[in-house]
Amino acid sequence: MATLRLGDIAPDFEAETTLGKIHFHEWLGDSWGVLFSHPADFTPVCTTELGTVANYYPEFEKRNTKVIALSVDSLQSHLDWIKDINETQGVTLNYPIIADEDKKVANLYDMLHPNASDKFTVRSVFVIGNDKKIKLMITYPASTGRNFDELLRVIDSLQLTANYSVATPANWKDGQDVVISPAITDADIPAKFPKGHTPIKPYLRMTPQPNK
């Protein structure tokens, strides 16, 4: 199939998970979603990642975002692995892991990269909007654990910029000033951004975060 691109509708699927069978789009409902894959069960870096996401789960919930993991191992393998994750990371895993032994979902989302491995998924992350469109894609090497603070930061930015005519600058964090869209004329700024703005260049105009 064609390579997925930002703005594409996230492929729909049915799958068995550690929390029962799901129909992906139906499971997402009106929520945002994070789908992230793992090369295999009982791998050290991924064990820490799944535990971190369990700890961060309330932060995803605040952002109306559901998280779901995937590995090409079996459902029973996942369930056995969860015991290790809970024990070693001091958590209770509270989100589903997809069992994808036939690699159906992995292929839908282009998670199998032959140069890395023809058997295991690469460590991909997809952020999916409440319109079911793909908003972010990142692929990590096996040796580098993912930064979930960064994923929360990106979701904050995506949800903000979806509703206001702004963009977020480098290293932006929730609560900091944002960039006014170039499509907004200077004349329209006072009505759209009543908190005021700081013109730095004609194309670079800053304003306090509008939803704070």
CB 196, CB 207: distance < 8 Å: yes
Report angle CA 43, 47, 48 to the nearest 5 degrees.
130
Strands (E), 18-117: 20-23, 32-37, 65-71, 97-99
- Cβ partners under 8 Å of residue 49, min gap 6: 36, 38, 145, 146, 148
For residue 178, how many other CB atoms are within 10 A of its CB?
A: 25
46 in catalytic set:
yes
Token pair of 199 as six digits: 């013109």
CB 7, CB 136: distance < 8 Å: no
- Cβ partners under 8 Å of residue 198, min gap 6: 177, 205, 206, 207
Euclidean distance between CA atoms 99 and 203, whole angstroms: 48
- Indicate which residue of 10, 46, 67, 155 is catalytic: 46
Token pair of 186 as six digits: 């200077």
Q: Which residues are catalytic?
A: 46
